[in-house]
Structure 1
C-alpha cells in the first residue's frame, strides 16, 4: 500500500498548511471582519467557517466518530450569520483537527482508503459524492472543498485588512 501512504501523507501536509494559514488570517480579524461580506450575495467569513465545519461534520465525523449527521446546511449560508472572531477561530481549528485526526487514523490503516464507509448509511445530502464513494474520493473532495473556501477566507481577510502578517515557523 505504498501509494496509499503517499496520498495520505500528501493530504496531511496540505491540510496542516491550510490550517496554519487560515488560522493566522482569522487571528488578525475583528468580530466585524468575520461577519462582513462584500455584498448581499456574498458569503462572510462566518458563513465560510460554518460551511467548512458543516462539511467536516457531515462527511468525516459521521464515519470517524460515528456521530449522526445533524448538519443544517441552509443555516451555514444565512445572511448576517453572527460569529465572533473567537468562535470562527475555534470552529476552524476544530474542523481541521478532525480532518487531520482522520488522516492520521488512515495513516495507520491505509487499506481503508479504498473502503466505502457510507454504503450502509442513510443517503448523503448536499454532497458531491454518493454513498458508494470511497474514502479516497471523499478525501479528494474534502481537499478541493476546504482549499476553495479557505482561499475565500484569506482573500476576504486581505480585503478587510489590506496586508496580513504571516509567521513562517
Structure 2
C-alpha cells in the first residue's frame, strides 16, 4: 500500500471509530435521562421500546463484530427475532446490553489495521470490503440511535434535556463556535 493509500485508510478507520463514538455518546446521553419505567414504554402500540431497539442493536453488534474479518457477520447463533421481544425489564440490564454491543464493536475496530479495510468480509453470505461493512453499520446504528433518542424524548416530554442545540439557540451557538 502506498503512503497516501495507507494514510487515507488510517484516516477512514479513525473517522469511522470517531463516528461510532459519537453515536454511542448520543445514545448514552439519551439513556441517562431514562428510568426503569421508560425501558419498555412505546409512544404507540406498534412502535419499538428503547429496550427492543437496544436489544436489536446489541445483538447486531455482537454478531457483526465478533470475528469480523474471519466469519460471516450474521452468526448462526444470533436470535434476531428474539431481539424484538421486550423482556429487558430494567434500565440496568438495558445499559449492560448496550455496553456489550459497543464493546464488541470497538474491540473489533480498534484491532483493525489500515490494510484490513479492503479485505473481504461477509454479511448474510454477501461479500463486502471491510470498509463497506463498517459504513453499512455506521448507517444502521445511526438510524437506531436516532430512534432511541426519539422514544426517550417522547417519554420524557417537557422533562427532556436536549442533546444538541436547544430550540431558539442556533444563532448564539453559531456565534460561540466562531469565537472558539
TM score, norm. by length of structure 1? 0.81
- Of 49-58 and 97-106, more deviation after overlay is shown by 97-106
Quote how far apart the aligned CAs of 1:48 are.
Answer: 0.4
Q: 2:109 aligns with which of 98, 103, 113?
A: 103
Contact preservation (8 Å) 2:70, 2:121: no
Contact preservation (8 Å) 2:121, 2:133: no
Q: 1:143 aligns with which of 138, 144, 165?
A: 138
Q: 1:154 aligns with which of 149, 153, 162?
A: 149
| Residues 7 and 161 of structure 1: CA distance in aligned 2, closer, same or farther (over 3 Å) | same
Aligned length: 155
Q: 2:51 aligns with which of 41, 46, 50?
A: 46
Q: Whose Rg is larger?
A: 2
Contact preservation (8 Å) 2:53, 2:148: yes
Partner Cα distance (2:60, 2:128) in 1: 15
Q: Which has the higher strand share?
A: 2
Which runs of no fewer than 5 residues in structure 1 stay unpaired? Answer: 125-129
Equivalent residue number for residue 34 of structure 2: 29
TM score, norm. by length of structure 2? 0.77
Three-state SS of the structure 2 residue aligned to 1:111 is helix
Equivalent residue number for residue 164 of structure 1: 161
Partner Cα distance (1:65, 1:84) in 2: 35
